[in-house]
Amino acid sequence: MKPGEPCPCGSGQRYAACCGPLHAGEQPAASAEALMRSRYSAYVLKLADYLLATWHPSTRPSELDLAADDSKWLGLDVKRHEVQDDDRAMVEFVARYRIAGRGHRLHELSRFVREDGRWFYVDGDLS
């Protein structure tokens, strides 16, 4: 993705000023919402290594094959970001995508934890 292009996460910022530095490992996500947005962008860009690195080890799959995934991600709507304490937060979002021409919505309430100053995705409940 070119640095001047809009970020896929829908923040309204350029990729180079939003999710790009997180994907490049230049800085950690400042919040659970920032991590969730960067993970959405990683799905759009098929960055499996980033997704695995930001998944908490207690729930992380052993591998993630995005090459075979023919989903086209269409947009992200963050409904709420709820900080529970210094190291726990929840983010509710709706992600829209298309597979084989058919539209779908992923509505999830995701749980995040912060360890050693880094946020990790733990799991989520689908609605």
Taking only the tens place, the pLDDT of each residue in 70-105 is 889 999 999 999 999 999 999 999 999 999 899 999
Q: Which pLDDT score, from 0 to 100, does residue 68 have? A: 78
Domains of the chain by start residue, with CATH = 15-126 (3.10.450.50)
Which residues of the chain are under the pLDDT cut of 50?
none
Q: Which pLDDT score, from 0 to 100, does residue 84 have? A: 96
Could you write out the DSSP letters of every residue in 10-65? SSSSBGGGTTHHHHTTSS--SSHHHHHHHHHHHHHHT-HHHHHHTB-TTT--S---
Q: Which pLDDT score, from 0 to 100, does residue 8 have? A: 96
